[in-house]
């Protein structure tokens, strides 16, 4: 999914569109390839078994708390240490982590409560490394670490129909918390189906059906979600939670639009992905970056930067990606899972959709509109679930001949989800707003009933060309 699409979809979903339009066919989440993901304990392959396992676990759980720090310094005194233990100890001692090829090369390693170097936006330290943004020092990381340290059981939730950032961030954090000895429950609202492209992510054994989540969690961590409604059936858990930590990068994020529980908002609208904030939290929790954790974070980073192509792909993004590769992520393997997999059925559906596409050169103020539709029947013929159609719009919008591209996708319930894109000269967000949906200038959506051709007529009527000065009145 493209970056604007992700945001537009969220906006659209927050607007007038009913939640049922996203309901895809139910496959079995339990059948998702849940690879064996080892907790990051010293019994990990990456961390050889040592006689001090208990102390290490205690120190980890203690985190920045006095007893934790004490355990760490005690262990440090037992050194000299090399390898992952040395790294853990350096982190615990508040020293800058990572020299040479070690992890955390891009982030300062302050104790919880310690100072961020604050060299400005993605400033560079003396070594040329990219530091955590100064604006992050304003976030209450300490309180988040404290709440996590105190909790025995932690619930995680991300938005419905999770993308690579939502699910990748959540599973990475889930694995990190499990390595701290926490009981971790992670879920997302129905349809509880892990998208095919994300089934390679480790940690899926920590997922459970949303109805099995505690009704009133002691600590709930919401990821990549700007409003409680986007959690679907888990919104009630957010409202009933005693304490709440929000990790997000949406502009409107941070409050989830609710009152009640204590909220710690670790939100940065300028972060390219929620995975960047999770990365920082994991660092502050002193959890070593295992390959399994890194895979989730990398999936989030790659997804929300469009495979490092969007404008949000900053030096800090690449610096984080470098650390994730050092932790063992294979970019070719992740790319294949995320972007380059399709069933033959999908290719047939795509071919049909492209074959049916119509180019209306007069629409959008003469800049052109290219559109197609995919019905339930089109999908049924090839056995393609609704949620696999996300990439179709990205193929259609490649056509240079049209300013606006539109794909009408029929859900299993029978209504139509209308995805729109523009190249920037036409405001599809305003047009979709007038039709009950919403989004951004270049990516927006709305839901409709009836024949797609009629829906396109309605859309064409509200699409203004760049020369048209009349006001929209849409929500944008």
Rounded to a whole number of angstroms, the minimum distance from the CB of residue 220 to Mn ion is 18
Structure tokens at 61: 């759980």
Give the integer Cα–Cα distance in Å for 120 and 269. Answer: 16
Q: Give whichever of 274 and 388 is closer to Mn ion, judged by the CB atom.
A: 274
Q: Give whichever of 63 and 296 is closer to Mn ion, judged by the CB atom.
A: 296
- The residue with its CB nearest to Mn ion is 165
Other Cβ atoms closer than 10 A to 77: 8
Rounded to a whole number of angstroms, the minimum distance from the CB of residue 260 to Mn ion is 25
Rounded to a whole number of angstroms, the minimum distance from the CB of residue 35 to Mn ion is 23
Q: Is 134 helix (H, G, I), strand (E, B) or coil?
A: helix
Q: Looking at 5, 224, 279, 378, which residue binds Mn ion (CB under 5 A)?
A: 224
Whole-angstrom CA distances from 335 to 196, 198, 200, 397 are 13, 11, 11, 21
Provide, for the chain, the percentages of residues in helix, strand and coil under a 3-state DSSP scheme, each rounded to the nearest 5: 40, 15, 45
The stretch near Mn ion (CB under 5 A) out of 164-172, 315-323, 362-370, 414-422 is 164-172
Q: What angle do CA 322, 326, 330 make, to 5 degrees?
A: 90
Q: Is 190 in the site for Mn ion (CB under 5 A)?
A: no
Q: Give whichever of 158 and 294 is closer to Mn ion, judged by the CB atom.
A: 158
Q: Give whichever of 87 and 165 is closer to Mn ion, judged by the CB atom.
A: 165
Q: Give whichever of 3 and 131 is closer to Mn ion, judged by the CB atom.
A: 3
Structure tokens at 65: 């708390």
Q: Looking at 229, 304, 390, 427, which residue binds Mn ion (CB under 5 A)?
A: 304
Q: Give whichever of 276 and 402 is closer to Mn ion, judged by the CB atom.
A: 276
How many residues sit in the footprint of Mn ion (CB under 5 A)?
4
Rounded to a whole number of angstroms, the minimum distance from the CB of residue 53 to Mn ion is 36
Other Cβ atoms closer than 10 A to 305: 22
Which residues are CB-neighbours of 376 under 8 A, at least 6 positions away?
Answer: 410, 411, 412, 414
Rounded to a whole number of angstroms, the minimum distance from the CB of residue 226 to Mn ion is 10
Q: Looking at 233, 274, 410, 420, which residue binds Mn ion (CB under 5 A)?
A: 274
Q: Is 3 in the site for Mn ion (CB under 5 A)?
A: no
Q: Is 165 in the site for Mn ion (CB under 5 A)?
A: yes
Rounded to a whole number of angstroms, the minimum distance from the CB of residue 136 to Mn ion is 17
DSSP 8-class letter at 29: G
Structure tokens at 233: 């059936």
For residues 335 and 370, the answer to whether their CB atoms sit within 8 Å is no
The stretch near Mn ion (CB under 5 A) out of 76-84, 86-94, 297-305, 459-467 is 297-305
Nearest Cα to 107, choosing from 134, 144, 80, 88? 134
Q: Which chain residues interact with Mn ion by CB under 5 A?
A: 165, 224, 274, 304
């Amino acid at each position: 999914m493209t970056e604007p699409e992700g945001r537009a979809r969220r906006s659209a979903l927050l607007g007038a569109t009913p939640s049922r339009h996203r309901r895809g066919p139910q496959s079995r989440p339990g059948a998702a390839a849940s690879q064996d993901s080892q907790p990051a304990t010293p019994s990990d392959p990456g961390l050889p078994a040592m006689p001090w396992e208990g102390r290490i676990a205690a120190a980890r759980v203690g985190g920045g708390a006095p007893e934790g720090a004490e355990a760490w310094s005690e262990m440090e005194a037992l050194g000299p240490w090399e390898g992952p233990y040395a790294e853990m100890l350096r982190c615990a001692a508040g020293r800058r982590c990572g020299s040479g090829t070690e992890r955390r090369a891009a982030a300062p390693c302050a104790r919880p409560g310690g100072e961020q170097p604050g060299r400005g936006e993605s400033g560079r330290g003396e070594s040329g490394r990219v530091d955590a943004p100064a604006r992050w020092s304003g976030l209450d990381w300490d309180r988040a670490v404290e709440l996590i340290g105190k909790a025995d059981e932690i619930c995680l939730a991300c938005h419905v129909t999770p993308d690579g950032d939502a699910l990748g961030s959540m599973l990475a954090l889930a694995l990190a918390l499990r390595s701290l000895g926490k009981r971790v429950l992670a879920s997302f609202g129905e349809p509880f189906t892990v998208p095919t492209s994300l089934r390679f992510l480790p940690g899926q054994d920590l997922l459970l059906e949303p109805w099995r989540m505690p009704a009133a969690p002691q600590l709930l961590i919401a990821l990549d979600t700007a409003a409680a409604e986007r959690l679907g059936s888990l919104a009630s858990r957010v409202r009933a939670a005693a304490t709440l930590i929000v990790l997000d990068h949406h502009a409107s994020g941070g409050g989830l639009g609710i009152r009640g529980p204590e909220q710690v908002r670790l939100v940065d609208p300028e972060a390219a992905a929620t995975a960047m904030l999770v990365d920082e939290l994991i660092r502050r929790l002193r959890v070593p970056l295992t390959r399994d954790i890194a895979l989730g974070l990398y999936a989030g980073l790659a997804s929300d930067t469009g495979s490092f192509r969007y404008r949000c792909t900053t030096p800090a993004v690449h610096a984080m990606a470098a650390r994730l590769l050092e932790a063992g992520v294979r970019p070719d393997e992740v790319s294949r899972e995320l972007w380059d997999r399709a069933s033959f059925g999908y290719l047939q559906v795509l071919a049909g959709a492209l074959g049916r596409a119509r180019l209306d050169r007069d629409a959008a103020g003469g800049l052109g509109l290219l559109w197609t539709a995919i019905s339930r029947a089109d999908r049924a013929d090839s056995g393609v679930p609704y949620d696999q159609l996300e990439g179709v719009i990205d193929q259609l919008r490649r056509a240079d001949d049209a300013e606006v591209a539109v794909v009408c996708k029929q859900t299993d319930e029978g209504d139509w989800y209308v995805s729109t894109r523009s190249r920037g000269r036409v405001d599809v967000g305003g047009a979709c707003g007038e039709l009950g949906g919403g989004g951004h200038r270049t990516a927006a959506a709305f839901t409709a009933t009836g024949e797609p051709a009629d829906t396109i007529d309605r859309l064409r009527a509200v699409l203004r060309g760049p020369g048209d000065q009349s006001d929209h009145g849409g929500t944008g």
